[in-house]
Structure 1
Amino acid sequence: MSEKVKEVVQEEFEQARVLTQDAVQSGAYVYPIKGIVYFFTHRSLWKPLAEKLLPTISLGVGVTMLMFAVAYVPQAAILTIFNGPLAILTTVLLVLSESSTIFSVLSKNFLVDEALIDTFDSTLLSRNLTALVSTERQIKSGNDPVAKLGKIVKKPFQRFTPKAIIRYFIYLPLNFIPIIGTILFVILQGRKFGPTAHARYFQLKQMGKKERDAFVDQRKAAYTGFGVPAVLLELVPVAGIFFTFTNTVGAALWASDMEQRETTAPTLRNQTELAKKSE
């Protein structure tokens, strides 16, 4: 049985290694950082967060403190058997991950879901993608991207499903494996996080499930590359709420760059064809 477990772990690690190489080559990992810079240099984007700041911070502090008070000691005792002295670090990461998951479920379902939609849409408006945003919501006149946001046709962000929660707890035992297990855990979490960050983009593009799945599958490594640093940022206690919004901005910036490439590519092809005809 132990040999089978080792074999599965080795296979997962090899897949994660290849995926990581492709993710690095995609360059998508920089968008969470771009999101931080863009957010803090565009004050107009602060309004959705400001309106939800106090209740969300209170929730984040409360969840994190409760989890460390209740879950840290028993989990540290178990992880010490497998990780030795490293258990101090791996248990902290584990409890932060658990706290982040609980916080994400509660906040995104009950506190900040509409604020994140507004942040994503207003970032696209600031990048002159009014036509894209207008497919799913009303747009008002003006220069302030947040003030221009009108009524939403329908909410895109899916609530945290039981399937996602079950998958999370299936991945938890990976933390028993020193260092490598924790890395795998974060990568697997990031792999699922990436496509979720573009839920609004898929809706604005009016993609069906098959089209969306194909789109994600073609960019699997890139979405993992985006998801891993985004997950790590949201693991930061309390400050994770800020990074939830900056990750949303980063996802919108990535979407806007995709749209620009989609628009530019046909133009370049047309120019090439015209050049060939003129020869």
Structure 2
Amino acid sequence: MLSRVAGSAQARAQEVVYVFSSSSFSSSVYTRGIVYFATHRALWRPFLSRVVPTLTVQAAVTVPMFMFTYLPQLSVLVWVYGPLAVVSTALLVLNESSAIASIFTRNLILKGALLDTFDATLVSRGAAAAVREGREVHPGSDPVAKLGKVLKSPLDGFSFGRYLLHLWLNLIPLVGTFFFIVLQGRARGLGIHERYFQLKAWSKGRKSDWFKLHVGSYTAFGVVANLLEMVPVASMLFSFTNTVGAALWAADVEEMDMRVAEQIGNKKYR
């Protein structure tokens, strides 16, 4: 089983070159998310309503993780990384803390707020028709206030089992932590548009073809999103800005689809 996992990890690691060839695009996506969130106060409401409980959970996880797991893991990784183990272990503990905290916060605290943020961003970009496929949308000017009852709930894309399968990569000298972060970013990136695909009823085949064309951009976005969400205290804020960035990207895809459909329609009636 370990050999199969290693083979899979090696194959996916070959995407790294392609990932960084797409990094300029992905950086514009998460940067747009930060700017758009900062300049659209209506989107702050779901974020502000969850600040205290989320930060409490993150602190309750991160502080004990560093107190009780940093030194034991450092004592192992120092044999692999030497002096670099100090940084590698810190990154590993931050990643572990982020993964554990995400299980609680995303499922119990942030799930509804992030969904509202994604849908509200689509509405604010003029994609209310797409959002209506998955929830009620009321008249009004405030994109968050316009959101009504959820008719289709998205599936959670985080897999703790996959996270554990990739965790052993940190034992590979020098490059292990790097590949671990890239593979986790790939898994994260490929899940950021599940809500949009659900709203548009994309088939598995269409999603697969789309990912093949854009896997580098999705992976690069996922890597940066994960790294931002590992930052203590600011991780919650980045969870929302990353969600906004993903929604803006989805809105771009929706606009592209609408233009293509319009062009096809115009050709039909010529």
Q: Same fold (TM over 0.5)?
A: yes
Q: 1:260 aligns with which of 227, 251, 255?
A: 255
2: CA distance, partners of 1:211 / 1:200: 15
Q: Give, as a single letter, the amino acid of the residue that structure 2 aligns with 1:188.
A: L
Q: Which runs of 5+ in 1 are unaligned?
A: none
Q: 1:9 to 1:272 in 2, by over 3 A?
A: closer
Quote how far apart the aligned CAs of 1:262 are. 1.9
CA distances 1:117-164 after superposition (whole Å, capped 9, x unpaired): 10000001110111111111111111000000011102113264xxx2
Match of residue 56 from structure 2? 58
Local SS of the residue matching 2:149? strand
What fraction of aligned residue pairs are identical, expressed as a percent? 42
Q: CA deviation at 1:180?
A: 1.8
Between the aligned partners of 2:113 and 2:208, the Cα distance in structure 1 is 26
Matches within 5 A, 1:73-222: 73-158=71-156, 160=158, 164-222=159-217
Tell me which amino acid in the other structure corresponds to 2:138. Answer: K
In structure 1, the partner of 2:30 is 32
Separation in structure 2 between the aligned mates of residue 148 and residue 274 of structure 1, nearest angstrom:
36
**In the TM superposition, what is the alpha-carbon distance from 1:22 to its structure 2 partner?**
4.3
1:96 match: secondary structure: helix
CA distance in 1, matches of 2:151, 2:210: 23
Question: For structure 1, which segment, 218-227 or 204-213, has the greater mean C-alpha deviation from structure 2 after superposition?
Answer: 204-213
Q: Higher mean Cα deviation, 214-223 or 99-108? A: 214-223
Q: 1:155 to 1:270 in 2, by over 3 A?
A: closer
Q: Distance in 2 between matches of 1:216 and 1:56?
A: 32
Partners of 2:23 and 2:221 within 8 A in 1: no
What is the aligned-residue RMSD (CA, Å)? 2.6
Q: TM-score, normalised by structure 2?
A: 0.90
Aligned length: 267
* Structure 2, unpaired ranges of 5+: none
Summarize the alignment of residues 38-53 of structure 1 with structure 2, pairs less than 5 Å apart.
38-53=36-51
Q: Which of residues 224, 235, 249 is equivalent to 2:230?
A: 235
Tell me which amino acid in the other structure corresponds to 2:133: T
Partner of 1:16: 15
1:273–1:130 Cα change, 3 Å: closer
TM-score by length of 1: 0.87
Contact 1:16/1:184 (<8 A) preserved: no
Contact kept in structure 1, 2:185 and 2:220, CA below 8 Å: yes
